[in-house]
Amino acid sequence: MRLIVGLGNPEKKYENTWHNIGFIIIDEIQKAKCDEFVKFKNSKKYKAEICEGISPEKKIILAKPQTYMNNSGQAIKSMMSFYKIETKNLWVIHDDIDLPIGKIRISQNASAGGHKGVQSIIEELGTQEFIRFRLGIQKEPPVDIPSEKYVLQKIDSNSKVALDEMIQTTLSALEIADLQGISEAMNEFN
Protein backbone atom coordinates (compact mmCIF):
# COMPACT_ATOMS: atom_id res chain seq x y z
CA MET A 1 0.00 0.00 0.00
CA ARG A 2 1.21 3.50 -0.80
CA LEU A 3 0.14 6.87 0.58
CA ILE A 4 0.59 9.80 -1.81
CA VAL A 5 0.03 13.13 -0.10
CA GLY A 6 -0.17 16.57 -1.66
CA LEU A 7 0.55 19.41 0.75
CA GLY A 8 -1.53 22.57 0.82
CA ASN A 9 -3.99 24.59 2.83
CA PRO A 10 -7.74 24.05 3.03
CA GLU A 11 -10.22 26.89 2.40
CA LYS A 12 -11.22 28.49 -0.86
CA LYS A 13 -8.95 31.52 -0.37
CA TYR A 14 -5.88 29.27 -0.73
CA GLU A 15 -6.97 27.58 -3.96
CA ASN A 16 -4.61 28.16 -6.88
CA THR A 17 -1.83 29.54 -4.71
CA TRP A 18 1.77 28.40 -5.02
CA HIS A 19 1.66 26.71 -1.63
CA ASN A 20 -1.21 24.48 -2.82
CA ILE A 21 0.62 22.86 -5.72
CA GLY A 22 0.56 19.57 -3.82
CA PHE A 23 -3.25 19.68 -3.76
CA ILE A 24 -3.33 20.58 -7.47
CA ILE A 25 -1.19 17.55 -8.38
CA ILE A 26 -3.25 15.17 -6.22
CA ASP A 27 -6.42 16.42 -7.96
CA GLU A 28 -4.77 15.84 -11.34
CA ILE A 29 -3.80 12.27 -10.39
CA GLN A 30 -7.38 11.56 -9.40
CA LYS A 31 -8.71 13.05 -12.67
CA ALA A 32 -6.19 11.20 -14.84
CA LYS A 33 -6.92 7.88 -13.14
CA CYS A 34 -10.63 8.41 -12.47
CA ASP A 35 -11.46 4.81 -13.36
CA GLU A 36 -9.00 3.63 -10.70
CA PHE A 37 -9.79 6.16 -7.95
CA VAL A 38 -13.12 7.02 -6.35
CA LYS A 39 -13.97 10.64 -5.54
CA PHE A 40 -12.40 12.41 -2.58
CA LYS A 41 -14.20 12.23 0.72
CA ASN A 42 -13.49 14.32 3.77
CA SER A 43 -12.33 12.14 6.66
CA LYS A 44 -12.49 13.78 10.07
CA LYS A 45 -10.76 10.70 11.47
CA TYR A 46 -7.61 11.43 9.44
CA LYS A 47 -8.06 15.21 9.15
CA ALA A 48 -7.73 14.85 5.38
CA GLU A 49 -9.57 14.47 2.13
CA ILE A 50 -8.78 10.99 0.84
CA CYS A 51 -9.56 8.76 -2.08
CA GLU A 52 -8.47 5.20 -2.69
CA GLY A 53 -7.52 3.39 -5.86
CA ILE A 54 -5.37 0.64 -7.30
CA SER A 55 -2.15 0.94 -9.29
CA PRO A 56 -0.97 -2.09 -11.28
CA GLU A 57 0.20 -3.93 -8.16
CA LYS A 58 -0.87 -2.09 -5.03
CA LYS A 59 -3.54 -0.09 -3.28
CA ILE A 60 -2.90 3.65 -3.33
CA ILE A 61 -4.40 6.30 -1.09
CA LEU A 62 -4.36 9.90 -2.31
CA ALA A 63 -4.63 12.49 0.45
CA LYS A 64 -4.92 16.23 0.97
CA PRO A 65 -4.40 17.08 4.67
CA GLN A 66 -6.94 19.56 6.00
CA THR A 67 -4.79 20.57 8.97
CA TYR A 68 -3.15 23.53 7.20
CA MET A 69 0.34 23.26 5.82
CA ASN A 70 2.29 23.69 9.06
CA ASN A 71 0.48 20.77 10.73
CA SER A 72 0.44 18.33 7.79
CA GLY A 73 2.29 15.73 9.81
CA GLN A 74 -0.71 15.19 12.12
CA ALA A 75 -2.94 13.96 9.29
CA ILE A 76 -0.19 11.91 7.69
CA LYS A 77 0.76 10.21 10.95
CA SER A 78 -2.86 9.19 11.64
CA MET A 79 -3.28 7.71 8.13
CA MET A 80 0.03 5.87 8.27
CA SER A 81 -0.79 4.41 11.68
CA PHE A 82 -4.27 3.24 10.69
CA TYR A 83 -3.23 1.74 7.34
CA LYS A 84 0.12 0.47 8.71
CA ILE A 85 2.08 2.16 5.91
CA GLU A 86 5.87 2.09 6.08
CA THR A 87 7.69 5.40 5.58
CA LYS A 88 9.28 4.10 2.35
CA ASN A 89 5.72 3.97 0.96
CA LEU A 90 4.93 7.59 1.82
CA TRP A 91 5.28 9.97 -1.13
CA VAL A 92 4.84 13.68 -0.40
CA ILE A 93 4.28 16.27 -3.15
CA HIS A 94 4.96 19.90 -2.22
CA ASP A 95 6.13 23.30 -3.43
CA ASP A 96 9.81 24.25 -3.28
CA ILE A 97 10.70 27.93 -3.44
CA ASP A 98 14.39 27.09 -4.01
CA LEU A 99 13.66 25.50 -7.43
CA PRO A 100 12.67 27.55 -10.50
CA ILE A 101 9.08 27.30 -11.68
CA GLY A 102 8.61 24.15 -13.71
CA LYS A 103 11.50 22.14 -12.25
CA ILE A 104 10.93 19.05 -10.16
CA ARG A 105 13.26 17.12 -7.89
CA ILE A 106 12.68 13.78 -6.27
CA SER A 107 14.43 13.22 -2.98
CA GLN A 108 14.54 10.74 -0.14
CA ASN A 109 15.87 11.08 3.38
CA ALA A 110 16.31 14.84 2.98
CA SER A 111 15.89 17.61 5.53
CA ALA A 112 12.87 19.90 5.42
CA GLY A 113 14.98 22.68 3.87
CA GLY A 114 12.85 25.33 5.60
CA HIS A 115 9.51 23.91 4.40
CA LYS A 116 7.26 23.94 7.47
CA GLY A 117 4.84 21.34 6.11
CA VAL A 118 7.68 18.90 5.53
CA GLN A 119 9.15 19.76 8.95
CA SER A 120 5.81 18.87 10.53
CA ILE A 121 5.89 15.46 8.84
CA ILE A 122 9.45 14.80 9.97
CA GLU A 123 8.60 15.77 13.55
CA GLU A 124 5.41 13.67 13.68
CA LEU A 125 6.96 10.58 12.08
CA GLY A 126 10.36 10.91 13.76
CA THR A 127 12.10 10.30 10.42
CA GLN A 128 12.81 11.92 7.07
CA GLU A 129 13.03 8.58 5.24
CA PHE A 130 10.00 9.24 3.01
CA ILE A 131 9.97 10.19 -0.69
CA ARG A 132 9.44 13.81 -1.72
CA PHE A 133 8.43 15.24 -5.07
CA ARG A 134 9.58 18.85 -4.80
CA LEU A 135 7.94 21.21 -7.30
CA GLY A 136 9.68 24.47 -8.17
CA ILE A 137 7.76 27.70 -7.65
CA GLN A 138 10.60 30.27 -7.67
CA LYS A 139 10.10 33.08 -10.16
CA GLU A 140 12.95 34.09 -12.44
CA PRO A 141 14.15 36.64 -11.61
CA PRO A 142 13.24 35.95 -7.98
CA VAL A 143 10.55 38.20 -6.54
CA ASP A 144 11.52 40.59 -3.80
CA ILE A 145 8.88 39.71 -1.21
CA PRO A 146 9.08 37.45 1.84
CA SER A 147 8.68 33.76 1.06
CA GLU A 148 5.71 33.44 3.44
CA LYS A 149 3.78 36.00 1.39
CA TYR A 150 4.89 34.78 -2.02
CA VAL A 151 3.79 31.17 -1.49
CA LEU A 152 0.26 32.35 -0.64
CA GLN A 153 -0.09 34.44 -3.81
CA LYS A 154 -2.40 33.25 -6.57
CA ILE A 155 -0.66 31.59 -9.50
CA ASP A 156 -0.60 34.25 -12.22
CA SER A 157 -1.42 33.74 -15.90
CA ASN A 158 2.23 34.31 -16.89
CA SER A 159 3.20 31.18 -14.97
CA LYS A 160 0.33 29.01 -16.27
CA VAL A 161 2.27 27.39 -19.15
CA ALA A 162 5.21 26.46 -16.91
CA LEU A 163 2.79 25.18 -14.27
CA ASP A 164 0.90 23.01 -16.79
CA GLU A 165 4.19 21.54 -18.04
CA MET A 166 5.30 20.86 -14.46
CA ILE A 167 2.00 19.09 -13.73
CA GLN A 168 2.49 16.78 -16.72
CA THR A 169 6.15 16.16 -15.82
CA THR A 170 5.19 15.35 -12.24
CA LEU A 171 2.48 12.92 -13.36
CA SER A 172 5.05 11.19 -15.59
CA ALA A 173 7.58 11.05 -12.75
CA LEU A 174 5.00 9.55 -10.40
CA GLU A 175 4.07 6.93 -12.98
CA ILE A 176 7.69 5.92 -13.57
CA ALA A 177 8.34 5.85 -9.82
CA ASP A 178 5.28 3.60 -9.38
CA LEU A 179 6.08 1.22 -12.23
CA GLN A 180 9.89 1.19 -12.30
CA GLY A 181 10.98 2.50 -8.90
CA ILE A 182 12.15 5.71 -7.26
CA SER A 183 15.74 5.34 -8.48
CA GLU A 184 14.59 5.20 -12.11
CA ALA A 185 12.40 8.26 -11.60
CA MET A 186 15.28 10.13 -9.96
CA ASN A 187 17.61 9.24 -12.82
CA GLU A 188 15.15 10.49 -15.40
CA PHE A 189 13.74 13.61 -13.73
CA ASN A 190 16.39 15.00 -11.34
Among all residues, which ones are annotated catalytic? Answer: 19
From edge to edge, which strands make up the β-sheet containing 41-43?
41-43, 48-54, 59-65, 2-6, 90-100, 131-138, 104-108
Pairing type for strands 104-108 and 2-6 reads unpaired
Which amino acid makes up residue 159? S
Q: Is the C-alpha dihedral spanning 154, 157, 158, 162 positive or negative?
A: positive
Q: What is the dihedral of CA 111, 68, 40, 132, to 10 degrees?
A: -10
Task: Please give the Cα distance from 54 to 138 (Å, whole number).
Answer: 34
- Rounded distance, CA 97 to CA 124, Å? 23
Residue 89: count other Cβ atoms within 10 Å of its Cβ.
18
